[in-house]
Structure 1
Amino acid sequence: MTGSAHPLHGRVAVVTGAARGLGAATARELDRRGATVALLGLEGPVLADVRDTLSGRARSWEVDVTDDARMKEVATEIRGRLGPVSVVVANAGVAEGGPFAESDPVLWRRVIEVNLIGSAVTARSFLPDLRENRGYYLQIASLASFGAAPMMSAYCASKSGVESFAHSLRAEVAHERIGVGIAYLNWIDTDMIRDADEHVVLRELRAHMPKPARKVYPAKTVAAHVARAVERRSAAVYVPAWLRAVQLVRAAMPPVVTSFAQRELPRLEQGTTLTPTGLLGAGGRAADGRAVGHGSGHT
């Protein structure tokens, strides 16, 4: 995937969580750069709508990334229809917010399952192809991977988990010349973030972040950085770029966050009742209560 003016031309790229938001934008960007894109997600009709905006090479599969057996079948189907996969972007993710003590155990677990377990299932399903092609796996992570925040315990735990998973996987497969990268991203203009701003607890959380950390970036802009990272087989990509500097001081972040929460949460609790948000955005609602094993069609 290096040494060419068009390194993605003719390559098969898988994007999970591709029905909307960053996943859909990344699929469009990879398609624009010449890749043959396989779109995976829970919402078949929405995936098909995204697919229809791409070149005629693209295909879509409705599948739950936490379903080991079905993901393995999909990997086989993609190989048969499109060819062996060279690129995997593990983007599928959901979030919920609110006090941990009042959180719904089922939804809290679902966040971990989709974000962390789903990423592991994705990697396991496509590793045979990546081995054959000396391909590239990009894990979509977050500022939450190293900057855990109150009221986002499941999301932060899952994103810390995927960061560690990607580091471990990279060390395991480096000798096979498989590239593994991590995308550290901040706020992106998606359904999930727009939904978050409708909830007092999450709106206030973002409002009290430093001004640069509050900025919301268009999904198309972030997708261009993600696609460039794929082309370069980058070990890490940071959007915005200043997140790279935060990496250097991440050990200092927990006491800073704790100090903020100790001061601000009592004030918030006086003005409103802090309640769980449920899974955020249309993608979260699609994942809410989704039973593993549903969704097997492809188009």
Structure 2
Amino acid sequence: MSQAGVLRGRTAVVTGAARGLGAGLARELARRGMRIALLGRERDRLEETARSLPVEARCYAVDVTDDAAMDRAARAVTDALGAPSVVIANAGIAEGGPFASSDPATWRRVIEVNLVGSAITARSFLPGLLSTRGYFLQIASTAAFGSAPLMSAYCASKAGVESFAQSLRAELAHQRVGVGIAYVHWTDTDMIRDADQHTVLRELRAHMPPGARRTYPVTRIAAWVARGVDHRSPTVYAPPWLRYVQPLRPFLPLAVTAVSRRTLPRLAERGPVEPTGLLGAGGQADQHAIGRTPGRPAAPSG
């Protein structure tokens, strides 16, 4: 049964809300009458999104991998908007390229933001969710079960958040806190558009079945995901047809390997495959915020 009406007047927290799917989810939940806390790296973009919402909204420029900063943000959200009834761990970055030549700090940063940052988000806001018997939604990806070559950090992080959310769901079930996993397919965000500028990543996607390579507008993906929030769904598929892929999971690695064995050598003949660095404007914002360039050690955040 839908809880959309019950959400009116309650508080939702969305990480990675400065742009892309995070901003789209903030808009969808605001349409349901929820107060919105927007968390992300880019304060100006957060404030721009907040001004577009028809509800009370607050912005918090914060690094999701910083435990202390996230704890402070959680307290500030509760003081300003009330304990959250919905928390969406959406913040994510990606890089592409061969694992062997990847920058270790960049590879690690993808894991830190996508996996560790999601766990820190859950830990920081869990007291509020326990008090409201709320709902935590982890944004995962088809990369959680269809790992692709040249995207090792991103795929590992999304498989990790899937397992994390499943474990958390079992742990919190008796306390009536819902935990969902959203499997999101290709979405028209700056990260995906940037990936398509790299020949190898674009051509690898071109070898997917026609329906599977389609890119969906943020508004449609956000609407599907928000519908899952309405129902406190344990699994959310955006687009909905992804649910029919789940039974094929044991066979997907074999299929991906078979395609890659044929495709990657042909692509390599055109020249070396270089690492992409962090993809999209969001990735560049994260890289700028931690004050590093690829190949240099990351500076302490916070």
Normalising to structure 2: TM-score of the pair? 0.95
State the Cα deviation string for residues 227-257 of structure 1 (Å, max 9, x = none): 1111100000111222111111101111111
CA distance in 1: counterparts of 2:241 and 2:3, whole angstroms = 29
**Residue aligned with 2:277, SS:** coil
Whether the aligned pair in 2 keeps the contact of 1:16 and 1:90 (CA below 8 Å) is: yes
CA distance in 2: counterparts of 1:14 and 1:203, whole angstroms = 33
State the Cα deviation string for residues 154-175 of structure 1 (Å, max 9, x = none): 0000000000000000000000
Shift in Å, 1:56: 4.4
User: Where does structure 1 lack aligned partners over 5 or more consecutive residues?
Assistant: 295-299
Backbone CA RMSD of aligned residues: 1.2
- Is residue 179 of structure 2 the alignment partner of residue 180 of structure 1? yes
Structure-1 residue corresponding to 2:11: 12
Shift in Å, 1:29: 0.7
**Residue aligned with 2:94, SS:** coil
- Is residue 49 of structure 2 the alignment partner of residue 42 of structure 1? no
Residues 73-152 of structure 1 mapped to structure 2, 5 A cutoff: 73-152=72-151
CA distance in 2: counterparts of 1:268 and 1:106, whole angstroms = 26
State the Cα deviation string for residues 68-92 of structure 1 (Å, max 9, x = none): 0010010000000111111001000
Which letter does structure 1 place at the counterpart of 2:74?
Answer: A
CA distance in 2: counterparts of 1:252 and 1:87, whole angstroms = 34
Structure-2 residue corresponding to 1:275: 274
**Residue aligned with 2:13, SS:** strand
Shift in Å, 1:55: 2.3
Whether the aligned pair in 2 keeps the contact of 1:64 and 1:292 (CA below 8 Å) is: no
Shift in Å, 1:24: 0.3
Which letter does structure 2 place at the counterpart of 1:231?
Answer: D
Q: Which moved more, 1:238-247 or 1:80-89?
A: 238-247
Which letter does structure 1 place at the counterpart of 2:252?
Answer: M
Whether the aligned pair in 2 keeps the contact of 1:95 and 1:155 (CA below 8 Å) is: yes
Whether the aligned pair in 1 keeps the contact of 2:96 and 2:275 (CA below 8 Å) is: yes
Structure-2 residue corresponding to 1:158: 157
CA distance in 2: counterparts of 1:17 and 1:217, whole angstroms = 19
Residues 174-213 of structure 1 mapped to structure 2, 5 A cutoff: 174-213=173-212
Which letter does structure 2 place at the counterpart of 1:253?
Answer: L
Structure-2 residue corresponding to 1:57: 56
Normalising to structure 1: TM-score of the pair? 0.96
Segments ≥4 residues shifted beyond 3 Å: 2-5, 291-294
The answer to which structure, 1 or 2, has the higher relative contact order (CA under 8 A, 6+ apart) is 1
Number of paired residues? 293
Q: In the superposition, relative to structure 1, how do residues 128 and 20 fare at CA in structure 2: closer, same or farther (>3 Å)? A: same
CA distance in 2: counterparts of 1:292 and 1:52, whole angstroms = 31
Which letter does structure 2 place at the counterpart of 1:116?
Answer: L
Shift in Å, 1:132: 0.6
CA distance in 1: counterparts of 2:146 and 2:222, whole angstroms = 22
CA distance in 2: counterparts of 1:130 and 1:142, whole angstroms = 24
Structure-1 residue corresponding to 2:224: 225
CA distance in 2: counterparts of 1:56 and 1:91, whole angstroms = 20
Which letter does structure 2 place at the counterpart of 1:79?
Answer: T
CA distance in 2: counterparts of 1:271 and 1:148, whole angstroms = 24
Whether the aligned pair in 1 keeps the contact of 2:143 and 2:154 (CA below 8 Å) is: yes
Q: In the superposition, relative to structure 1, how do residues 41 and 269 fare at CA in structure 2: closer, same or farther (>3 Å)? A: same
